């Protein structure tokens, strides 16, 4: 007979290991999560809290359980929290990511995101709630910053629109004024020069004043046009290859006569050699004319003005120095700002609108140069600006310059390849090959490489510079595709590398650098140049890095001429000098002594130098260090062990 089935229901066996595992998971969550987690009953009493919740109250979890929010928070704050609890428990609807600003019990203001969800029993009845609160102070600050950024950006966009409208208005008005001004000027000149009939002395005096004021008004209109073009980015530069000495001499007679009429001595100090620069001649003339005219305007009778040009490695520095009334120290930082006139003399207040030097600064910057001023009231003013030197310091005769400029005017592509053995005199001493033979061998390589790309006619590559003493060649290639020129440069480099390898000449660097000045397919000009000119440089030699500045942070002590010592930090270094940050402006060309820390030696370098150039960090918006000026120091008399230490340092950094 089969056994009777048991009438009792079998109880389900409890898996205590599974329960323990789940409890441990919950315990880990509650203990380590940074968010506040808590469980409340229907009366708002806390029945379980995690460590983050208790820690925020400065207590332990067991000290919080059994209490309500009224035991920890101010009454008004606790009432708001209780109101949310009641709403969740009565409606069964959760509160998700409610963002609030509150003050924690420790007194710190913060933003928090709170989520509260109802908690049910096995029968589906609400018996309390589960809450999670997350500190989102950082997120709120980020959001606030983003909103503030958007507000500021809108204001900037509005200001930019207003500025563009202003520039457009100035441009239109200036253009409209030019034509009637030109007609008035022509009419006044016709009357003044008595081409339409005789005039008496009184009439001539009146016409002379009218002529001068028409010219003054024309200059103001031209300045307004220039500044509007600069602001709108439509100022185009028309580049040509020229000799700086010729450019300065062309206007020297005019300025000497102008200075002589006021009883001022004006002199020029220019380099003996040609100074090749690639610039917009008209705009450089504008810069020089403005600076010299200002010097004459603010220099009294029997005063002196000096215009000089000095070559500084890869740049040329032009200076205009006068013994005039000078500029106050507190006015110097504003000297190159728009609509500012630093001088308070009566003549300055009557003339101009304060745009001349602002335009000069922009033009110098567009040519890749720097400009700065030094002045003392009652002593005089020195204004300096720099321009990059052309690819070679060697003289190019007028025929070559004319050839290049004629090609540029026709819109032809022009490539100028400069091949230079750096520090050729030293290089020759290290070679086993006789200098003359070395030069001839390299000449054969150059001729052979060019012959491979030979074209019949005037556009064939031609050597335009050949200097045995310095080991330098210049090659001109016109109306040739960029890829083809790159092949020529590559062939030159490869054949020379083979030559030096074959002759076992070590420590030879062959570097090909390309500086391209060309218009793109859309006609948008690269570097604002209206010319298709490409400058290629090939350097050969163990000291190829001689002219390269490398970033270098080191301590430096500079002793000025008045025996004042300044401690600072360098920004970069080359074999020619260092650049450092200074809290004061120095005197250009002033001798200094420096103690320079070297990373590879405990003993600092103690050498002489001179101030070559300087730039205000405030004007360029630099955030580099606490210094107000970047100062370029050029080493003086660096020889022997000191020179070797600098060379080793630069090679280790490059």
- 159: left (phi > 0), else alpha (psi -120 to 50), else beta? alpha
Mean pLDDT of 444-451: 84
Q: Helix count (H) and strand count (E) of the chain?
A: 16, 24
Q: What is the pLDDT of residue 640?
A: 82
Question: Where are the domains positioned within the chain?
Answer: 20-135, 146-232, 240-335+343-353+362-388, 398-544, 548-653
227: nearest Cα among 370, 367, 337: 337
Q: What is the pLDDT of residue 354?
A: 77
Average pLDDT of the chain to the nearest whole number: 79
- To the question of domain 146-232 being in CATH 1.10.287.130, the answer is yes
Measured in degrees and rounded to the nearest 5, phi and psi for residue 58 equal: 75, 25
Query: In sequence order, what are the residues at sequence separation of 6 or more whose Cβ sits closer than 8 angstroms to the Cβ of residue 294?
Result: 356, 357, 383
CA–CA gap between residue 428 and residue 438 (Å, rounded): 8
**Exposed, middle or buried by CB within 10 Å (0-12, 13-18, 19+), for 507?**
exposed
Give Cα 309 distance to the centre of its chain. 25
The packing angle between helices 435-452 and 482-502, to 10°, is 150
CATH number of 240-335+343-353+362-388: 3.30.565.10
- To the question of domain 398-544 being in CATH 3.40.30, the answer is no
Tokens of 458: 């005037």
CA–CA gap between residue 265 and residue 295 (Å, rounded): 11
Mean pLDDT of 389-403: 67
Mean pLDDT of 488-511: 70
Mind listing the pLDDT tens digit for each residue in 166-216? 777 776 776 677 778 888 888 888 888 888 889 998 988 898 888 888 888
What is the SS3 string spanning 23-67? HHHHHHHHHHCCCEEEEEECCCCEEEECHHHHHHCCCCHHHHCCC
**Confidence band for 528, pLDDT divided at 50, 70 and 90:** very low
**HSE of 83, CA atoms in CB hemisphere, 13 A:** 6
- Which CATH number is 20-135's, of 2.30.330.10, 3.30.450.20, 1.10.150.650, 3.30.70.1050? 3.30.450.20
Q: Which of 81-85, 344-348, 440-444, 449-453 has the lowest mean pLDDT?
A: 344-348
Quick count: other Cβ atoms within 10 Å of Cβ 339?
10
643: nearest Cα among 498, 543, 568: 543
Burial code (b: 16+ CB inside 10 Å, e: under 16) for 360-371 equals bbbbbebbebbb
Q: Do domains 20-135 and 240-335+343-353+362-388 have the same CATH topology?
A: no
Mind listing the pLDDT tens digit for each residue in 338-378? 877 765 555 444 456 678 898 999 999 888 888 999 999 98
CATH class, domain 548-653, is mainly beta
**Confidence band for 261, pLDDT divided at 50, 70 and 90:** very high
Mind listing the pLDDT tens digit for each residue in 132-159? 999 888 888 888 888 888 898 888 888 8
pTM: 0.58
- 92: left (phi > 0), else alpha (psi -120 to 50), else beta? left
CA–CA gap between residue 37 and residue 304 (Å, rounded): 83
Mind listing the pLDDT tens digit for each residue in 570-598? 888 888 888 898 888 888 988 999 988 87
CA–CA gap between residue 322 and residue 385 (Å, rounded): 15
């Amino acid at each position: 007979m089969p056994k009777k089935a048991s009438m009792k229901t079998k109880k389900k066996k409890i898996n205590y290991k599974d329960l323990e595992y789940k409890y441990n998971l919950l315990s880990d969550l509650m203990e380590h999560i940074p968010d506040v987690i808590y469980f409340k009953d229907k009366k708002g009493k806390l029945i379980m809290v995690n460590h983050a919740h208790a820690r925020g109250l400065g207590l332990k979890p067991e000290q919080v359980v059994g209490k309500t929010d009224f035991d920890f928070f101010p009454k008004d704050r606790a009432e708001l929290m209780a109101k949310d609890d009641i709403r969740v428990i009565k409606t069964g609807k959760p509160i998700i990511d409610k963002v609030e600003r509150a003050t924690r019990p420790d007194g710190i203001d913060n933003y928090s995101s709170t989520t509260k969800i109802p908690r049910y029993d096995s029968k589906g009845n609400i018996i309390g709630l589960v809450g999670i609160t997350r500190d989102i102070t950082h997120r709120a600050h980020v959001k606030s910053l983003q909103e503030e950024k958007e507000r500021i950006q809108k204001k900037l966009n509005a200001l930019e629109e207003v500025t563009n409208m202003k520039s457009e208005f100035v441009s239109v008005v200036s253009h409209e004024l030019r034509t009637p001004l030109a007609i008035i000027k022509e009419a006044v000149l016709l009357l003044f020069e008595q081409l339409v009939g005789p005039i008496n002395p009184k009439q001539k005096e009146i016409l002379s004043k009218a002529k001068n004021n028409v010219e003054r008004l024309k200059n103001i209109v031209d300045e307004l046009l220039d500044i509007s073009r600069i602001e709108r980015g439509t100022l185009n530069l028309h580049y040509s290859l020229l000799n700086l000495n010729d450019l300065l001499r062309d206007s020297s007679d005019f300025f000497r006569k102008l200075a002589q009429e006021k009883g001022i001595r004006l002199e020029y100090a220019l380099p003996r050699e040609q100074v090749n620069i690639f610039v917009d001649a008209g705009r450089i003339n504008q810069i020089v004319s403005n600076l010299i005219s200002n010097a004459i305007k603010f220099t009294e009778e029997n005063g002196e003005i000096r215009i000089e040009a000095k070559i500084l490695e890869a740049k040329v520095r032009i200076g205009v120095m006068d013994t005039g009334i000078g500029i106050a120290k507190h006015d110097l930082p504003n000297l190159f700002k728009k609509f500012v006139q630093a001088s308070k003399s009566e003549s300055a207040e009557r003339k101009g609108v304060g745009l001349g030097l602002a335009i000069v600064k922009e033009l110098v910057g567009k040519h890749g140069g720097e400009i700065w001023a030094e002045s003392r009231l009652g002593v005089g003013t020195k204004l300096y600006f720099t321009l990059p030197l052309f690819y070679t310091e060697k003289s190019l005769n007028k025929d070559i310059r004319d050839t290049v400029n004629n090609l540029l005017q026709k819109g032809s592509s022009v490539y100028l390849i400069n091949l230079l053995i750096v520090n050729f005199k030293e290089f020759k001493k290290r070679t086993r090959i006789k200098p003359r033979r070395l030069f001839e061998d390299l000449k054969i390589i150059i001729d052979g490489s060019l012959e491979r790309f030979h074209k019949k006619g005037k556009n064939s590559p031609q050597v335009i510079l050949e200097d045995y003493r310095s080991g330098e060649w210049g090659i001109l290639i016109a109306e040739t595709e960029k890829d083809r020129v790159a092949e020529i440069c590559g062939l030159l480099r490869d054949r020379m590398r083979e030559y030096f390898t074959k002759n076992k000449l070590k420590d030879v660097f062959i570097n090909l650098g390309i500086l391209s000045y060309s218009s793109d397919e859309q006609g948008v000009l690269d570097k604002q140049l209206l010319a298709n000119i490409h400058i290629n440089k090939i350097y050969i030699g163990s000291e190829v890095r001689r002219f390269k500045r490398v970033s270098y942070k080191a301590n430096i002590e500079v002793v000025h001429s008045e025996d004042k010592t300044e401690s600072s930090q360098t920004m970069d270094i080359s074999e020619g000098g260092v650049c450092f940050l200074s809290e004061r402006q120095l005197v250009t060309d002033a001798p200094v002594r420096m103690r320079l820390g070297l990373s590879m030696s405990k003993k600092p370098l103690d050498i002489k130098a001179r101030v070559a150039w300087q730039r205000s960090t405030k004007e360029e918006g630099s955030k580099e260090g606490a210094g107000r000026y970047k100062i370029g120091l050029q080493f003086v008399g660096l020889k022997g062990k000191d020179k070797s230490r600098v060379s080793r340092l630069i090679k280790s950094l490059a």
